[in-house]
Chains A and B, each alone.
Chain A
């Protein structure tokens, strides 16, 4: 039974991903501008969520730093956008976040559990209030304007970032580093004892995850035209990926994608008319998920599939 399922996934998984990618790559040919913008939003959340999952799911460290990396990307784009070509701006956004993540990763090696979550959250607020103070004190204005880029370009850049992220995630998961990360999550001391360089591995993977978030921020900034520290370093960009990933389920790669896509779409249809209800639903879903669906949508789907199959392993 188990072997069959693996075979099934081996054949259908890549095929399905390929079809979805082709559909996404040709989206601007057949879809309206509105759809392109909507899908861009969804892709952005998928990137944030998958990047968060890349580090936090195997290691069990709850990072609330995504908003910091996202904001650094946004600000890089705002500062460099008018002077450099777009691809370089986006690379710079990724690189800036990479450096920040490297620094944070190296600093926080000793922190475990909720301390790590609190540190990363504090980081977002620290950068935000420092920038606010700096802007008012030295430039005399709050916020800046960002060079505009057309929606189709933003969409394709986002798609490229996502494909690269999927590739990176796949390679890390398949390699021995993926296994090493999981062993850190299970027992960090034991992982260190069997010869894994825990500190370097954690820091590097954290930095890789930050890079993609920074790049996504750099391209997203071009759509917002005006940004200030409150917009760029909004703590919601830290909370959202965590909640989306947990709602989707961390067990399989498609879980976080599903969670991010569903909530990004919900946000799109609800946030303009019923913003408070959207966030209210968000909170309720989060609590219900933690209480009743500890493995998220993925777990639910597996349970349903097992019920339908009605096989002997329904007990598991």
Chain B
């Protein structure tokens, strides 16, 4: 194993990790603030990916431009879903524990609905397109330009979101709602709006991640669950509800994936689940958990 190979494995892992982190931040937001373990998270990714594919192949629209479509549309969709479905569920649930179970089950229903609407619209075929698939030299190794762009966009969005949470008034309200919804409500935070906002932002990040994924990997209507599972693993790894934790978790999982793939390609997913299960057993609160 030469130095170059090690470097290659590490960079692959980091590039993958950036994408994982973005997916996980969205889920973490939905679970950490809105207390919804959104099993349908991957379906928003799938919708973003397939929309980008359609726009690119039918109208030749640059995938990076469709970011302006995928993000806002997913946000509005998520916002409406929270305002109609989850808000009602929150009001009718007796305790936070009951709401967590019920909302998880409702998200299952949502997953079936979104996935099958996509199957009816796009069919089950695996799709792909080639965009920016030119090799770039990086520290003596070769990488596709699309991977690097994906990584860059993921990091920019993640950092921008973190700053939004830390520096703005709305961000402060979101953090307050995450800590204690009842008290935040008493302080004048419009809780229902905040929760819907978080759910919408999570969906928007999923939509954007889907757009990025479509640039590098084949996409299809049933790809969602796979990414949901990765997001859940990363979120548990980083600590449920912690945004920096999701980022660290994303990179850790990306690196693990790329290292395991180097030695035994078939075992990458197995490694994810082993880590996930060990983590739940040993430290369910994750790296940055409270």
Query: Which of A's residues lie within 8 Å of B, judged by CB?
Result: 60, 62, 107-108, 110-111, 113-115, 117-119, 121-123, 125-126, 129-130, 132-133, 136-137, 235, 239, 242-243, 246, 276-277, 279-280, 282-287, 290-291, 294
A117 to B120, CA, bound (A): 29
A-B pairs with the 3 shortest C-beta distances? Answer: A283-B112, A286-B109, A126-B273
Chain B contacts with A in 90-111, Cβ cutoff 8 A: 92, 97, 100-102, 104-106, 108-111
A235 to B42, CA, bound (A): 15
A103 to chain B, nearest CB (A): 12
Q: Please give 20 more A-B residue pairs, beta carbons under 8 A apart, in addition to A133-B267, A287-B109, A287-B113.
A: A113-B97, A113-B101, A114-B100, A115-B284, A117-B37, A117-B104, A122-B277, A126-B273, A126-B274, A129-B266, A130-B270, A243-B105, A279-B112, A280-B116, A280-B120, A283-B113, A283-B116, A286-B108, A290-B89, A291-B106
A285 to chain B, nearest CB (A): 8
B23 to chain A, nearest CB (A): 16
A65 to chain B, nearest CB (A): 12
The count of A-to-B residue pairs whose CB atoms sit within 8 angstroms is 114
The size class of the interface chain B forms with chain A is: 35 or more
Query: Which of B's residues lie within 8 Å of A, judged by CB?
Result: 37, 85, 88-89, 92, 97, 100-102, 104-106, 108-113, 115-117, 119-120, 225, 229, 232-233, 236, 264, 266-267, 269-270, 273-274, 276-277, 280-281, 284
Q: A280 and B117: CB pair below 8 A?
A: yes
Q: Inside 8 A of A290's CB, which chain B residues have their CB?
A: 89, 102, 105-106, 109
- Chain B: which residue is nearest A288 at the CB level? B109
- Chain B: which residue is nearest A283 at the CB level? B112
Q: B116 and A114: CB pair below 8 A?
A: no
A60 to B199, CA, bound (A): 26
Q: Inside 8 A of B264's CB, which chain A residues have their CB?
A: 133
Q: A243 and B101: CB pair below 8 A?
A: no
Do A125 and B273 contact each other (CB < 8 Å), given the known contacts A62-B104, A107-B281, A280-B113?
yes
Q: Inside 8 A of B229's CB, which chain A residues have their CB?
A: 121-122, 125
Q: A114 and B113: CB pair below 8 A?
A: no
Could you pull out 21 A-B pairs where Cβ atoms are within 8 angstroms?
A62-B101, A108-B281, A111-B281, A114-B100, A115-B280, A117-B37, A119-B280, A122-B277, A133-B264, A246-B105, A276-B119, A280-B116, A280-B120, A282-B109, A283-B108, A283-B109, A283-B116, A284-B109, A286-B105, A290-B105, A291-B106
A189 to chain B, nearest CB (A): 13
Do A282 and B112 contact each other (CB < 8 Å), given the known contacts A133-B270, A276-B119, A290-B106?
yes
Q: Inside 8 A of B97's CB, which chain A residues have their CB?
A: 113
* Majority SS at the chain B contact face: helix
- Chain B: which residue is nearest A104 at the CB level? B277
- Chain B: which residue is nearest A280 at the CB level? B116
A243 to B269, CA, bound (A): 27
Of B89, B92, B277, which is in contact with the most chain A CB atoms at under 10 Å from its CB? B277
A118 to chain B, nearest CB (A): 6
Q: Inside 8 A of A129's CB, which chain B residues have their CB?
A: 266, 269-270, 273
Q: Inside 8 A of B280's CB, which chain A residues have their CB?
A: 108, 111, 115, 118-119, 122
A218 to B37, CA, bound (A): 33
A267 to chain B, nearest CB (A): 13
A155 to chain B, nearest CB (A): 29
Partner of B106, one of A114, A121, A133, A287: A287
Q: B101 and A60: CB pair below 8 A?
A: yes
Q: A132 and B273: CB pair below 8 A?
A: no
Q: A126 and B277: CB pair below 8 A?
A: yes
Q: Inside 8 A of B269's CB, which chain A residues have their CB?
A: 125, 129
B256 to chain A, nearest CB (A): 14
Q: B101 and A114: CB pair below 8 A?
A: yes
Do A118 and B101 contact each other (CB < 8 Å), given the known contacts A126-B270, A276-B120?
no
Do A283 and B270 contact each other (CB < 8 Å), given the known contacts A111-B280, A119-B280, A290-B105?
no
Q: Inside 8 A of A286's CB, which chain B residues have their CB?
A: 105-106, 108-109, 112
Q: B108 and A243: CB pair below 8 A?
A: yes
Partner of B105, one of A122, A242, A276, A282: A242
Q: Inside 8 A of B105's CB, which chain A residues have their CB?
A: 62, 242-243, 246, 286, 290
